[in-house]
C-alpha cells in the first residue's frame, strides 16, 4: 500500500486533496492533557475518510469527539493480554484473546457518544473503540510493532475492509516513481553521491545511477573512522565490480584532527557531518560544480534527529549533523523508507547479497563507538577489537541473524593481571542486537561459547585491552550505538 507521512499541521483541505483512502494517527510521547500536546483540526472527522488512531492517536480521537482520557496512573508497558469484547471489522475473525504491545501512561476511560468499545485489558476498560458509521477507529495498543503478533492482520483489516485499499504498491512501482522524481529534480545537472559501502548509500547510488547514468559521480571518503580493510573492500566492490566512477578521498588526518579533544557525542556528530560536507564541496568543485548531493538518508535517521513532535535522540550525521551553510541541494530517494524496504529495493536493483545484507554501519563510524576523546591509538584498539568480534560472529553463523554486532571502547580503565604483571587497560564492550528497523532493538542472547571465544581473543590479540563486558540493554532504554 502506498503511504505518505504528513504533519498533523497540514491543512485538512490539502490532506483531503491528496485523496487518501484512509488516515492513521500515530502514537506520540506526549499526554493529551499537557500544554502543547499535538492535536489536529477536527475537520478531519468530517472529511468522509476512514480514520484509525493508534495509542496517542486513539486518545486524541476519544478526547476530540467527547470521550474521556484519564491520567489514571495505571499505565501498561510491554506484552499485554487483550480481550476482544465485540465484533469489529478491525479484528475480523481473529481470536478473541490475543497478546498486544502496550506503551501508555494515560488511558481512555469513556468512549465518545456513538462509539462502541470493542476490546479491553485487565487494566484498561477501553483498549479499542470504533464508530463504524463514521469509520473512525482507535486502538490503545501498537498493531505496527512485531511484538503484537496479529498486528499486521489488524492493519490489513483496516486497510482492506474499512478503507477498501488493494495491494498494488510494489517495489517495482516504488523504484519507477523514485527514478522519475530523481530525473525531474536534477534535470541534466551533475550529481555527486557519498558512498560509504553500507547498504543505504549503495542503494541510493544504484537508484540514482539508474535514473541519470553518467551524470553521477560517487565519492568514497576514508574518514579514518572505518573498520579494518573497509576502504579496500569498498573500492574493490564499486570500482572493479560495478565500474562506477568512484572518487576516493583520503581524509583520515582531517577527520581525526577535527575531532581532537572532543568528547561530547553531539559535537562529534556535528563535526563529522560538517567535515563530510566540506570534502564533498571540494570534490563537487572539481566536477563541474555539481549542485546536487545524493545521501542514503532513511526515515529513522530523520525521526531520531528530532522533528516537531519527536524528541531529538541523536543528530544523525546526514540529517541533524549537516552544517547550516549547506550549498548542495539534497537528493534523498530513500528518506521515506525503512531499512527492510531498502534491502528489498537493493535486491530488486541487482546489488550483490554481501552489500544488501551487510549489517548497518553508521556514517560517523568508529567515532560513535569510542566513548570520550578519539586518538589514533584508541582508534587502533577499537578497529582491531571490532575485527575480532565480526570474525567470530560470522564464524558462529550468527552474522545475518543479528541486526548489528560490534565492539565499543569505553573511557574507563581497570586493573587486571596478565603474565603475573599488573595491567591498567581498557575494557571492550560487546554489543549485539536484533531488530527489524532500528527504531527498537533487543539485546541478542549470544551463546556463552561465542562470548568466551571473543573474550579470549580480544584479550590475547588486542594490546591495550584487559577486560571484556557484554551489553545487555535493549532499545529503548539504550540506543544501539553508544553515542
Residues annotated as catalytic (active site), given as ranges: 55, 142, 144
User: Cα separation of 160 and 18, whole Å?
Assistant: 19
- Exposed, middle or buried: residue 192 (CB in 10 Å: 0-12, 13-18, 19+)? buried
Bin 66: left if φ > 0, else alpha if -120 < ψ < 50, else beta. left
Report the residue number, 434 or 479, with the smaller CB distance to ligand XMP: 479
Q: What minimum distance in Å lies between the beta carbon of 386 and ligand XMP? A: 13
Q: What minimum distance in Å lies between the beta carbon of 476 and ligand XMP? A: 9
State the maximum Cα–Cα separation within the chain, in Å, rounded to a whole number: 79
Look-up of cell digits 591495550: 464
Report the residue number, 49 or 303, with the smaller CB distance to ligand XMP: 303
Q: What minimum distance in Å lies between the beta carbon of 32 and ligand XMP? A: 27
Q: Nearest-CA neighbor of 181 among 214, 210, 201?
A: 210
Q: What minimum distance in Å lies between the beta carbon of 206 and ligand XMP? A: 17
Q: Nearest-CA neighbor of 483 among 194, 270, 322, 319?
A: 270
Cα angle: 39, vertex 42, 45; to 5 degrees: 120
Residues that bind ligand XMP (CB under 6 A): 269, 304, 313-314, 316-318, 360, 362-364, 404, 438, 475, 479-481
220 touches 259 (CB < 8 A) = no
Report the residue number, 166 or 278, with the smaller CB distance to ligand XMP: 278
Q: How large is the C-alpha radius of gyration of the chain? A: 25
Sign for the pseudo-dihedral over CA of 251, 235, 177, 53: negative
Q: What minimum distance in Å lies between the beta carbon of 322 and ligand XMP? A: 11
Report the residue number, 106 or 200, with the smaller CB distance to ligand XMP: 200
Q: What minimum distance in Å lies between the beta carbon of 365 and ligand XMP? A: 9
Report the residue number, 53 or 363, with the smaller CB distance to ligand XMP: 363
Report the residue number, 304 or 392, with the smaller CB distance to ligand XMP: 304
Return all residues near 455 (Cβ < 8 A) that are at least 6 apart: 468
- Could you give the 3-state DSSP secondary structure of residue 381? helix
Distances (CA, A) of 432 to 382, 385, 408, 473: 16, 14, 11, 10
Amino acid at each position: 500500500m502506498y503511504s505518505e507521512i504528513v504533519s498533523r499541521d497540514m491543512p485538512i483541505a490539502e490532506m483531503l486533496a491528496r485523496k487518501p483512502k484512509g488516515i492513521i494517527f500515530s502514537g506520540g510521547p506526549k499526554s493529551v492533557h499537557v500544554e502543547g500536546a499535538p492535536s489536529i483540526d477536527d475537520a478531519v472527522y468530517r472529511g468522509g475518510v476512514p480514520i484509525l488512531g493508534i495509542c496517542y492517536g486513539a486518545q486524541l480521537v476519544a478526547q476530540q469527539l467527547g470521550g474521556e482520557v484519564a491520567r489514571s496512573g495505571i499505565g501498561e508497558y510491554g506484552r499485554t493480554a487483550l480481550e476482544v469484547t465485540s465484533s469489529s471489522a478491525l479484528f475480523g475473525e481473529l481470536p478473541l484473546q490475543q497478546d498486544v504491545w502496550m506503551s501508555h501512561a494515560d488511558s481512555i476511560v469513556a468512549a465518545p457518544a456513538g462509539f462502541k468499545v470493542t476490546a479491553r485489558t485487565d487494566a484498561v476498560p477501553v483498549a479499542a473503540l470504533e464508530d463504524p458509521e463514521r469509520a473512525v477507529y482507535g486502538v490503545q495498543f501498537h498493531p505496527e510493532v512485531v511484538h503484537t503478533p496479529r498486528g499486521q492482520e489488524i492493519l490489513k483489516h483496516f486497510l482492506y475492509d474499512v478503507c477498501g485499499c488493494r495491494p498494488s504498491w510494489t517495489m517495482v512501482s516504488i523504484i519507477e516513481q523514485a527514478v522519475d522524481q530523481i530525473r525531474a529534480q536534477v534535470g541534466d545537472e551533475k550529481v555527486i553521491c557519498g558512498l560509504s559501502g553500507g547498504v543505504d548509500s549503495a542503494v541510493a547510488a544504484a537508484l540514482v545511477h539508474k535514473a541519470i547514468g553518467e551524470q553521477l559521480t560517487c565519492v568514497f571518503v576514508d574518514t579514518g573512522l572505518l573498520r579494518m580493510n573497509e576502504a579496500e573492500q569498498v573500492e574493490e566492490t564499486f570500482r572493479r565490480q560495478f565500474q562506477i566512477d568512484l572518487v576516493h578521498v583520503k581524509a583520515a588526518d582531517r577527520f581525526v584532527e577535527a575531532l581532537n579533544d572532543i568528547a561530547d557525542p553531539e559535537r562529534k556528530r556535528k563535526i563529522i557531518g560538517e567535515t563530510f560536507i566540506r570534502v564533498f564541496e571540494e570534490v563537487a568543485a572539481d566536477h563541474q560544480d555539481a549542485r546536487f548531493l545524493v545521501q542514503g538518508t532513511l526515515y529513522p535517521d530523520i525521526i531520531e534527529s528530532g522533528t516537531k513532535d519527536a524528541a531529538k535522540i541523536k543528530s544523525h550525521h546526514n540529517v541533524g549533523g549537516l552544517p547550516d551553510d549547506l550549498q548542495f541541494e539534497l537528493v534523498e530517494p530513500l528518506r521515506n523508507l525503512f531499512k527492510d524496504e531498502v534491502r528489498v529495493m537493493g535486491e530488486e536493483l541487482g546489488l550483490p547479497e554481501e552489500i544488501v545484507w551487510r549489517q548497518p554501519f553508521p556514517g560517523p563510524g568508529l567515532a560513535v563507538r569510542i566513548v570520550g576523546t578519539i586518538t589514533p591509538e584508541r582508534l587502533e584498539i577499537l578497529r582491531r577489537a571490532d575485527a575480532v568480534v565480526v570474525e567470530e560472529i560470522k564464524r558462529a553463523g550468527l552474522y545475518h541473524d543479528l541486526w548489528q554486532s560490534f565492539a565499543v571502547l569505553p573511557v574507563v580503565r581497570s586493573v587486571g593481571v596478565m603474565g603475573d604483571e599488573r595491567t591498567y587497560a581498557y575494557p571492550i564492550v560487546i554489543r549485539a542486537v536484533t531488530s527489524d528497523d532500528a527504531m527498537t532493538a533487543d539485546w541478542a542472547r549470544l551463546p556463552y561459547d561465542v562470548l568466551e571465544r571473543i573474550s579470549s581473543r580480544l584479550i590475547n590479540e588486542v594490546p591495550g585491552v584487559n577486560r571484556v563486558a557484554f551489553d545487555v540493554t535493549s532499545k529503548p532504554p539504550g540506543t544501539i550505538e553508544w553515542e
